[in-house]
Amino acid sequence: MKIQSTKIDAFKGKFGGEVVSPGDEAYDDARKIWNAMIDKHPALIVRCITTSDVVLAVNFARDNELLLAVRGGGHNIAGSAMCDDGIVIDLSQMKAASVDPVARRVTIEGGATLADLDASTQAHGLATPLGINSTTGVAGLTLGGGFGWLSRKHGMTIDNLESAEVVTAAGEVVRASDTEHPDLFWALRGGSGNFGVVTHFEFRLHPVGPDVLSGLIVYPIAAAKSVLRQYREFLAQAPDALSVWAVLRQAPPLPFLPEAVHGTGMIALALLYADDPKLGEPLIDPLRKFGTPLGEHVGVQPYTAWQQAFDPLLTPGARNYWKSHNFSTLQDGLFDAVIESIENLPSPQCEIFFGAIGGATTRPAPESAAYAHRDAQFVMNVHGRWQEPADDERCIGWAREFFKASAPFASGGVYVNFLTADEGDRVRSAYGPNYDRLAQVKRTYDPDNLFRMNQNIQPA
Ligand SMILES: Cc1cc2nc3c(=O)[nH]c(=O)nc-3n(C[C@H](O)[C@H](O)[C@H](O)COP(=O)(O)OP(=O)(O)OC[C@H]3O[C@@H](n4cnc5c(N)ncnc54)[C@H](O)[C@@H]3O)c2cc1C
């Protein structure tokens, strides 16, 4: 879309941040996001530094009928942080956090990463549940629900959201909480970026660490079925403070694994105990006895270090295609499907993981917030990940095959934040029974669907 240069100049005159256009030196970097499959060319990228900048940008997009995308951490696999031809509100400069350690609250800006949030709260030995890759954006993660190592004990990220400052499609700045715009607050907690630009999030915090018992126990793929069966039994009686995820892939060259097993199939149990490490030691011991481990790296380490432990495997710039299901139970037939899939990996970076949530994430009623999947004990993600465009078809095909093979064992729900760009037919499953109410709230706050670069909810 062509925007008159006089209009852009007038906008720049009022805007406090940087405006990046095609031809600018910064343009190609500014349009890059985590998934290298996404190659979009916006007409303008506006890097906001204040809420007022966001208001200006929303008004500019709406008044000029521009396609609008909002970029938080830029991690969304579907590439919804970017658009072609339109305008991108880029929040990556808005990362400031302020912690009240007595009230156990943090307020953080809408462009912060998980690393920014953890750094601010861990200075006080506090944390809120977030995801497992520290470069992910707080905004997109929270708006979809958000889960990670602390979720079994402290719930989804949204279960810890106290309030949000939102710039609506009308360009108004509102505060949403249980008592202010409660319908909007309900919708923000799982309804993705459909309802406005969140400029500030306020979260409740819990004492965590700063040192926690965490790490990896690795078994050979030949033992995977037995390990998975024992893992299922183990988790059924594990306390909420203990999270154990299962990751199946080729063994990376981790220093604690013998060189001979690098590049061979493995199942890793990744764990964190969110309480006194001394209490956790005996609890995790059975995990070492599921067979003969290839190696382990478990110990007491800073929570922030564990929050970054997977970053080297999840760097930006690779090509990625994901498929995901929720599971309320893990069945033996699923284990056969996953093992067969790992035996046919199309690239050394591909993997399948089972994130054990359950615990506190399952206790709120499904209609208490927009995120509806309170029956999900496990979230599975098949990560197709590779480097070369020539491998696209093969790697995407592999992910789709496993997705199909695992479908009969799944609950039918899916985590909205793991949907790829070609899964428009699954959007209703992602919002589940809350879709119709979300569509009503969408009509109130964004009747013309200005915010549509997301897993979109049509205004009722
Ligand atoms: C490597 C990796 C690991 C992950 N691990 C986890 C995990 O452990 N747990 C988990 O729950 N999820 C995880 N995710 C999924 C993640 O939650 C989603 O990709 C999420 O959308 C990322 O948010 P973002 O701000 O980085 O993304 P972006 O792509 O910037 O934004 C995602 C969506 O939110 C909208 N949006 C962004 N910022 C705002 C804002 N301030 N206001 C309104 N709308 C906004 C965007 O328009 C877009 O539609 C992971 C993703 C990756 C790539």
- Quick one: DSSP state of residue 121? H
Q: 380-397 burial by CB neighbour count: b if 16+ within 10 A, else e?
A: bbbbbbbeeeeeeeebbe
pLDDT of residue 270: 98
Distance 262 CA to ligand 1 centre (A): 31
72 ligand 1 Cβ < 6 A? yes
Distance 78 CA to ligand 1 centre (A): 10
CA distance 352 to 355: 10
3-class DSSP state for residue 144?
helix
Q: How many CA atoms lie within 13 A of 148 on its CB side?
A: 26
Give bridge partners of residue 353 from the DSSP assignment.
247, 381
pLDDT of residue 361: 98
From the list 342, 377, 58, the residue with the least C-alpha distance to 223 is 342
Question: Which one of 136, 326, 382, 423 would you pick to mutate in the ligand 1 pocket, going by the greatest count of ligand atoms within 8 A of its CB?
Answer: 136
pLDDT of residue 1: 58
Question: Which one of 32, 50, 75, 452 would you pick to mutate in the ligand 1 pocket, going by the greatest count of ligand atoms within 8 A of its CB?
Answer: 75
Q: Are 448 and 198 in contact (CB under 8 A)?
A: no
Give me 302's structure tokens: 């800073």
Predicted confidence (pLDDT) per residue in 321-378, tens digit: 999 999 999 999 999 999 999 999 999 999 999 999 999 999 999 999 999 999 999 9
43 ligand 1 Cβ < 6 A? no
Q: Are 228 and 221 in contact (CB under 8 A)?
A: no
379 ligand 1 Cβ < 6 A? no
Distance 87 CA to ligand 1 centre (A): 19
Q: What is the pLDDT along the chain (460 residues), one digit of tens a residue?
A: 578 889 999 999 999 999 999 999 999 999 999 999 999 999 999 999 999 999 999 999 999 999 999 999 999 999 999 999 999 999 999 999 999 999 999 999 999 999 999 999 999 999 999 999 999 999 999 999 999 999 999 999 999 999 999 999 999 999 999 999 999 999 999 999 999 999 999 999 999 999 999 999 999 999 999 999 999 999 999 999 999 999 999 999 999 999 999 999 999 999 999 999 999 999 999 999 999 999 999 999 999 999 999 999 999 999 999 999 999 999 999 999 999 999 999 999 999 999 999 999 999 999 999 999 999 999 999 999 999 999 999 999 999 999 999 999 999 999 999 999 999 999 999 999 999 999 999 999 999 999 999 999 999 9
Residue 85, sorted as left (phi over 0), alpha (psi -120 to 50) or beta, turns out to be left
Segments in 99-156 forming alpha helices (H): 114-122, 138-144, 151-154
Give bridge partners of residue 269 from the DSSP assignment.
217, 246
pLDDT of residue 5: 87
For the whole prediction, is pTM greater than 0.85? yes
CA distance 46 to 290: 52
